[in-house]
Amino acid sequence: MKRTFDFIGLNSVISESFKPLHHVTPSSARKAGMDAGMKGTTPSNCHHSYFATQELEKEWYRGYRMGKQNRD
């Protein structure tokens, strides 16, 4: 069986994931963290833009802990 791999598609996905999100606020970082805590991590709720500053990172982890508590 011959397998093919879509490198162009992979490159598109990677390119999209590294574009910075616009208007990231502590509130949106917290919401993304809550989503990750409740549903699991995805490229959209763990985007690198949520970790661009210490304040955003702190809020993301705060939301993550809250989401984990609500999930259990």
- Note the pLDDT tens digit of each residue in 34-70: 999 999 998 889 988 999 999 999 999 999 999 999 8
Quickly count: other Cβ atoms within 10 Å of residue 26's Cβ: 16
Cα 48 from Cα 20, distance rounded (Å) = 8
Answer yes or no: is 58 within a domain. Answer: yes
Answer yes or no: is 8 within a domain. Answer: no
Which structural domain, as residue segments, surrounds residue 35? 23-71
Q: ∠ CA(27), CA(30), CA(35), 5° rounding?
A: 125
Answer yes or no: is 47 within a domain. Answer: yes
pLDDT in tens, 1-24: 677 766 666 666 666 667 788 889
Answer yes or no: is 66 within a domain. Answer: yes
Domain count, the chain: 1
User: Is this prediction's pTM over 0.85?
Assistant: no
